[in-house]
Amino acid sequence: SVHKGSVRGEIEGDRTPQAEGVLTKQMTDALRWTSLDMPNLDGRVAVVTGANSGLGLETALELARHGAAVTLAVRDLDKGEQARADIAAAAPDAVVDVARLDLADLGSVRGFAEAWSASHPEGLDLLINNAGVMAIPHRTTADGFEMQFGTNHLGHFALTGLLLPALVARPRSRVVTVSSGAHRMGRMRFDDLMGERRYRSWGAYGQSKLANLLFTSELQRRLDANGIPTLALAAHPGYA
């Protein structure tokens, strides 16, 4: 893949049409990346939240198809089992298990992390923080947080922290948090994070996605400061 910053670095100071053409071509080539470009993942271990449908299911399928052992971390175990069956039908050799995780309940987050870590002493190569809710009416989590902020950000923040020892145990592990271009419509309302004085569903969603990006940036800064090679990454999921 091509990182936009690295390409710009190669042509820094050169604003000719030819240089811009190089940048455009390399960025276009990067956008053509598909699951066919994925390497062999034998021996890698992954956790995907919200893996029973949509992007989470497709992500889990491709990771498993390419050899990773994948845990589907889902709120509804019946839907998780159906997802596992769908993956098995598409990739008969896939190694997939299902575990319950409700990101809107920090007790569930802790329980999942403790059980998963105990059963996977080898550690974790890839955590994909994918699950989320979008633009819903005002509700609160089991712990009293606004639902979008609590699920999309706080639940994944806690999960990542609790699984960090497992991630650090594996060389070149990664945390990928699915944010959104919708972060541009959000701002951190530190005087009203939970929307108790004023709640706008899309504004709250944008705030939660902005929090994802701030979390990813700060996590990478702290990993670098401590010489830990784990990568913290964020992605816009696209839409259809």
Which are the catalytic amino acids?
A: 205
Contact call for residues 121 and 165 (beta carbons, < 8 A): no
Number of Cβ within 10 Å of residue 11's Cβ equals 15
Query: Nearest-5° angle of CA 73, CA 98, CA 64?
Result: 90
Nearest to 68 by CA among 33, 28, 40: 40
Cβ contacts of residue 105 below 8 Å, gap of 6+?
A: 141, 142, 143
Distance CA 27, CA 7 (A): 9
Calpha distance 153→207 (Å, rounded):
9
Residue from 191, 186, 176, 235 nearest 208 by CA: 186
| Separation between Cα atoms, residue 202 and residue 199, nearest integer Å | 9
Q: Which one, of 161, 170, 159, 128, lies nearest residue 44 by Cα?
A: 170
- Crossing angle, helix 106-119 and helix 156-168, to 10 degrees? 20
